[in-house]
Structures are given as C-alpha cells and as structure tokens.
C-alpha cells in the first residue's frame, strides 16, 4: 500500500488521461523489479534466480514507461529520485541493516514518489501541489512504519510504542492547524488503531495488515477530497 495508495491518490486527483493505465503497469513492474533485486542482495546463493526476474520485470516496466517519458519528460526527474532512494535501500540490504529506521524512511519516501508520478502524468506539471501530496503521504506512512515496527520488530521496545503513539496524536493536530480539518480526518483511523492496539497484542500479522490497508485506503480517499478542494 505504500506505493499503491499514493499512486491512486495522484491519479484520482488529476484529469483523466488515457496513458494513466501505462503508468500503473510501469510502476507495478518497477516495484516487482526492485523487490527481486533486493532479494538478490539478501540471498547471495539465489542471486542468479532473483536477478533474472528483476531484469525481466525491469524491461517490462521500461516498455510501459518509455511512452510516458516521451509524453511527460518530467517523469525522468521522478524516476531518478526514486532510483536514488532504491540505491540507499540496496546499500542497507547489502549491509544486512534493513531494520534501520533511516532505511524505512528512505524506502517510504521513494515509494511515495508514485503520487508525484500520477500527478505529473495527469497534469504535465511538477509543482508545489505535487510535492505537498508527496509530503503528506510521507508523513502518513512514516507513522504507519512506526506503528507496525512497534508491534512486530520492536515489540519488546516500549520506547518505540510511545513514539508511535505520540506521532499518531500530534500529526492530525498539526495537519488541522497548518492545512485543513479534512486532513486531520484522513489521519484519524490511523490514530485510533495506534492507540487501540497494545504492544502485547495477540493479532496475527494478516490481521494487522488488513487494518493497515483499511487505514491507508481511508487516508488516500480523504487526501483526494482535500486536494480537489484546495481552491
């Protein structure tokens, strides 16, 4: 959802264009390619297998992406920035340090670039509104990362849970003050789930994942409503 919800928001917030379907395909296969390439770094003994699939997905993504770049050259800027983020993630993977919070932030920032890609395809512009949408997505999904980390990887670390709770409480208040109450509404389900789920929970990972999907869809929907009412 970290790339899918922002992509949906970027596409839905802009005028319809027939090449938007190409962007969905290009982003999907680019994501699959990045996953396979990171797997190649994580599992050296299976490197050839994962590289084969990574290159294959990358080629398919490029085939879908080439017409988009010809139509919207600004997508090259978006793609290059996403590649920088992927390079950082690859470095962390090679160092066997993927649990580092900085790696999470960079990964989220790179995956959230899909909202800018959708915006550029729909408008042909790379302006302040595009970056605002990206920043709001980063703010939301960083909170999600803190929450999930506090329940799984850092389940025995009470400081992580406190950080997630503080973040969940402060974010909607700041958004309501700086932007509009609509954005506070977008973050409310995430705040509720952070407060409601204790660190010593008994939920399965699947259940936690479904909750994250529901909160992300809610967020994306209200982000679209907010963006369409900017004027």
- Which of 76, 105, 123 is where one domain is finished? 123
pLDDT of 230: 61
**Number of domains present in the structure of the chain:** 2
What pLDDT tens digit does each residue of the chain (231 aa) get? 778 888 888 888 777 778 888 999 999 999 999 999 999 988 888 989 999 999 999 999 999 999 999 989 999 999 999 989 889 998 888 878 777 878 888 999 999 999 999 999 988 888 888 898 999 999 999 999 999 989 988 888 899 999 999 999 999 888 888 877 778 888 999 999 999 999 988 888 889 999 999 999 998 888 888 877 764
pLDDT of 231: 45
Other beta carbons within 10 angstroms of residue 200's beta carbon come to 9
- Regarding whether 82 and 175 lie in a shared domain, the answer is no
- Which of 74, 95, 123 is where one domain is finished? 123
pLDDT of 64: 94
- Regarding whether 118 and 35 lie in a shared domain, the answer is yes
pLDDT of 5: 85
- Regarding whether 133 and 108 lie in a shared domain, the answer is no
* C-beta separation of 71 from 19 below 8 A: yes
* C-beta separation of 164 from 194 below 8 A: yes
**For residue 104, which phi and psi values (nearest 5 degrees)?**
-60, -45
- Regarding whether 117 and 136 lie in a shared domain, the answer is no
Q: Which residue's entry shows tokens 């509720």?
A: 192
Cα–Cα distance measured from residue 156 to residue 162, given in angstroms and rounded to the nearest whole number = 12
- Which of 123, 154, 180 is where one domain is finished? 123
The model's pTM is 0.86
Cα–Cα distance measured from residue 60 to residue 104, given in angstroms and rounded to the nearest whole number = 27
Cα–Cα distance measured from residue 153 to residue 157, given in angstroms and rounded to the nearest whole number = 9
Task: Give the domain range for residue 230.
Answer: 127-231
């Amino acid at each position: 959802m970290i790339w899918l919800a922002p992509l949906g928001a970027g596409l839905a917030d802009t005028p319809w264009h027939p090449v938007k379907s190409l962007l969905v395909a290009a982003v999907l296969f680019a994501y699959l390619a990045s996953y396979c390439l990171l797997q190649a770094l994580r599992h050296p003994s299976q490197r050839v297998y994962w590289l084969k699939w990574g290159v294959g997905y990358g080629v398919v993504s490029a085939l879908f992406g080439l017409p988009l770049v010809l139509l919207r050259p600004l997508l090259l800027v978006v793609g290059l920035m996403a590649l920088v983020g992927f390079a950082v993630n690859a470095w962390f993977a090679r160092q066997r340090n993927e649990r580092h919070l900085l790696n999470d932030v960079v990964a989220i920032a790179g995956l959230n670039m899909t909202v800018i890609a959708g915006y550029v395809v729909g408008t042909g512009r790379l302006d302040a509104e595009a970056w605002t949408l990206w920043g709001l997505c980063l703010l939301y999904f960083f909170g999600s990362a803190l929450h999930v980390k506090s329940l799984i990887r850092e389940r025995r670390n009470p400081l992580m849970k406190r950080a997630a709770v503080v973040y969940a409480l402060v974010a909607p208040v700041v958004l309501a003050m700086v932007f509009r109450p609509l954005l506070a509404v977008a973050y409310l389900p995430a705040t509720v789930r952070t407060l409601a789920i204790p660190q010593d929970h008994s939920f399965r990972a699947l259940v936690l994942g479904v909750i994250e999907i529901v909160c992300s869809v809610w967020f994306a929907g209200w982000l679209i409503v907010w963006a369409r009412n900017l004027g």
